[in-house]
Amino acid sequence: MSNFNFIKTDIDGVYIIESKLFGDERGYFTETYKKKDFDEAGLKYDFIQDNQSRSKKGVLRGLHFQKEHPQAKLVRVLEGEVFDVAVDLRNSSPTFGKWVGVILSEANKRQFLIPRGFAHGFLVLSEYATFCYKCDEVYHPEDEGGILWNDPEIDIEWPSTDNVILSDKDAQHPLLKNCEVHF
C-alpha cells in the first residue's frame, strides 16, 4: 500500500502529491519520494538531480523552462510557503497556455509534480521559503527559456502582486506569444 495520495489536476500529467505523516510528541516522519510507488501510479521518472533555493517574501522565480533539454520536476517546500505554478507549453496539448497552481508549505507538506514541457515558477508568500526539487535532467544554462510572469494571455492568478521581487532576467522574459516553444 502506497504512502502517497496522487491528486490529478486540471492539466494532464500535473499532480499534487500528499504523503502520509507518522508523528508523535517527538515530531514526524514522512516519505517524500519512493520510486516504486510513483511508478505504480504511472508516474515513471528517473530523477537525477536535486536542487534547493532559499528566497525572501515577494521573490518570484520564473516562469522557467529548458528548450532542448526539458526537465520534469518534483517540487516541495521545506520551510515557509510558496504559490507554485506550472504552465502547459506542449504545442499539441488541449491545455496549451493554461496554468495550474498550488500552495506548497512546510505545514501542508504537499508536493507538485510537473512533467516535461511546462514552464515553472513560484512566488514566496512567507517571510522566507526553502524550496527543494528533483529533476529528471541536468540544468543547461545556455538552454534556458522563460515567459513573463504576468503575461496577460496566461493570466495567472497570483495570490499577491504587491512588491514582487524579480531577477533582471525574469523581468525581461517575453510573452508566450513571442516564445518559440517546441514541446
For the chain, the structural domain boundaries read 4-178
What whole-number distance in Å separates Cα of residue 124 and Cα of residue 84? 9
**What's the pTM?**
0.95
Which of the four pLDDT bands, split at 50, 70 and 90, describes residue 84?
very high
More confident residue, 160 or 85: 85
Quote the pLDDT of residue 162: 86
Catalytic residues: 64, 133
Task: State pLDDT tens for residues 125-177.
Answer: 999 999 999 999 999 999 999 999 999 999 999 998 889 999 999 999 999 99
- CATH class assigned to 4-178: mainly beta
